[in-house]
Structure 1
């Protein structure tokens, strides 16, 4: 079976976890602090804060940006449901706008029309690793005095051309960027998340709220020469990353350049392998973006049934995933007012599939994926 993806881990990660386990300090501590510094340096961010996963990162990002009860956040339905859920955790309403037809990212041209007096933030998603059009979104957000939160769950290692220079996603170009370290992502700790921000006061708030708003961090209290009684001045959360995870993450950061390079090489091979499948639409990069190819998304020919294609490929030993989900179609969002039509989002979910792409994938495996897709497209029919 060729899986949709496979994390690249080995002895360095196992040894890092072992080292921390034997140290006696396994919760948030010196390894987390070291990982935060290394991640900030990697993406060129002034501040980086590690948390338990990207969903908690998004929740903190929106809360600290000022999103609260009764507010609205402009975002996309075309994303994993955590994007929309993080808005609702704040007591706010996600206002969904449609995506661009080729990038599958938020369409900046639709954002301004969705702004109302209740809008408190814009939440864009760098979907499947391809950067959003930040050159359009950043000035739009600034003009309306709105924070721009980047859901960069899939985008570690991706880049955007900014003022003539290639810069990593996460610098950040908006106000805060949120990353995932889930196994489906480019690097992983099993699970985990990171917030990067340009605002020192926001970073301090993230650090306070991730640890139950404890007035004195555990690392300080346990290392103190005198007894310290901490306080809890407000309601916080248990959103901490462990030192075990952070130690693994530090090893993963060392691998990141090589992983992204290999993924980009694999992505560059697919167009030639899939060229003979008539009606198949392939992904592409705009001149101002470099994707990490977290996922390779293709749009099926009009005559193909998505489920049948995926099943036939699975029967041939090739794992796939459907197009990115649309939150507004889920029961949890049934009945929610949807003022803006989302035809391109729905079409992307219904017509697209994600193909296997991962470090260590062989030319033979890529050829098998292409052959299985070609065979499935030739023998399935949505109109049968």
Structure 2
């Protein structure tokens, strides 16, 4: 099966895992610190905080920035559910905002303006598929409204522009991301006080770590805030250090493959729309396409799977998931819903070759043309 995403791990990752095991120090230590420094340097930031997941990163950001009960946070519904869940973790209410358009499936600035209330405290920008929104427009909006500006940059590691929009940014290193530590995440913020509060909160609010107490030869610590067990371990950090060395190269390959997809689709399957037609700055995390309305998506999924090609969808709108549908029973986001009904995610990762892309597009064209001509798969 040609997979939608596939981690690239091998001998070097195995070797560094063995080194960690041989060191007999498995939790937060020198490798975690080295990974934080390397990730920050790649993004032109002063420092970073490594955590156990992007979800943890979002939760810690919201808590450190003072988002709490009674506050509202503007979020897109076209995202993974963790974006909204993290808002609820701190007792605030997510306010779902429609996307800009079928071609630009990012949170709409105009709709965000319309959904602001006196309770609105922050907005979370999701860099869907690795594409970034208009930074200056959102910064101006946040300043005008007095809002915190947070980035869910799970899809955009390696882009220097990611993490530069506002107050803080959360990144993901899950197994299907552009680089991976299996599970893991990171926070970037320019505010040193916020960064250190997040660093402390990720480890139960303790004033020192086990590694720090070992080196300082004292067992004493204090707990000065409510914290969580959101630490990254040495094993994941070691993998991350290896992966970081390849991230820019892998992102370049993803961009090249995306351009080939666009060229082939325009020639062989022009009725299939590829979003972000006017965008160039992206980490190209996934390859979303919009099927024509005359095609049944499940037929396309089945046809491609029968030919050894996995597909998926990004995403079921969060406001239509059972939990949130109960909380927001009358909410209708027409653009988001229309996009989600037609979206299909095709394979995109650095292990894919041009010939594989040609095969994918050919099989997609088969089923789309068949539906257009006869109403059934040939």
TM range (shorter): over 0.9
Aligned-CA RMSD value: 1.7
Are the equivalent residues in 2 in contact too, given 1:283–1:296 (CA < 8 A)?
A: no
Aligned position for 2:202: 210
Are the equivalent residues in 1 in contact too, given 2:319–2:328 (CA < 8 A)?
A: no
Shift of 1:363: 1.7
Distance 1:24 1:323, change over 3 A: closer
Aligned position for 2:302: 311
Aligned position for 1:168: 161
Shift of 1:272: 2.2
Aligned position for 1:336: 327
Classify the secondary structure of the residue corresponding to 1:150: strand
For 1:326 and 1:35, locate their aligned partners in 2 and report how far apart those are by CA, in whole Å: 34
For 1:57 and 1:271, locate their aligned partners in 2 and report how far apart those are by CA, in whole Å: 33
For 1:27 and 1:41, locate their aligned partners in 2 and report how far apart those are by CA, in whole Å: 23
Mark the runs of 5 or more structure 2 residues left unpaired by the alignment: none
Distance 1:198 1:338, change over 3 A: farther
Are the equivalent residues in 2 in contact too, given 1:309–1:377 (CA < 8 A)?
A: yes
Shift of 1:285: 5.1
Q: CA-to-partner distance for each residue in 1:161-184, whole Å, 9 max, x for gaps? A: xxxxxx4312x2211010000111
Classify the secondary structure of the residue corresponding to 2:241: helix
Shift of 1:334: 2.1
For 1:380 and 1:142, locate their aligned partners in 2 and report how far apart those are by CA, in whole Å: 49
Distance 1:149 1:272, change over 3 A: same
For 1:232 and 1:285, locate their aligned partners in 2 and report how far apart those are by CA, in whole Å: 50
1:346 aligns with 2:346: no
Are the equivalent residues in 2 in contact too, given 1:280–1:300 (CA < 8 A)?
A: yes
Are the equivalent residues in 1 in contact too, given 2:254–2:348 (CA < 8 A)?
A: yes
1:105 aligns with 2:106: yes
Alignment of 1:130-169 (within 5 A): 130-158=131-159, 167-169=160-162
Classify the secondary structure of the residue corresponding to 1:334: helix
Classify the secondary structure of the residue corresponding to 2:16: helix
Shift of 1:380: 4.1
Aligned position for 1:264: 255
Aligned position for 1:233: 224
Are the equivalent residues in 2 in contact too, given 1:278–1:301 (CA < 8 A)?
A: no
Distance 1:70 1:24, change over 3 A: same
For 1:383 and 1:97, locate their aligned partners in 2 and report how far apart those are by CA, in whole Å: 35
Are the equivalent residues in 1 in contact too, given 2:61–2:168 (CA < 8 A)?
A: yes
Question: 193, 200, 219: which one pairs with 2:192?
Answer: 200
Question: 170, 173, 185: which one pairs with 1:178?
Answer: 170
Q: CA-to-partner distance for each residue in 1:359-384, whole Å, 9 max, x for gaps? A: 12112211111111111212347988
Q: How does the TM-score come out when normalised to structure 2? A: 0.95
Q: How does the TM-score come out when normalised to structure 1? A: 0.93
Are the equivalent residues in 2 in contact too, given 1:324–1:348 (CA < 8 A)?
A: no
Mark the runs of 5 or more structure 1 residues left unpaired by the alignment: 159-166
Are the equivalent residues in 2 in contact too, given 1:323–1:351 (CA < 8 A)?
A: no
Shift of 1:339: 7.7
1:324 aligns with 2:319: no
Aligned position for 2:126: 125
Shift of 1:337: 3.3
Structure 1 runs, 4 residues or longer, greater than 6 Å off: 381-384
Aligned position for 1:245: 236
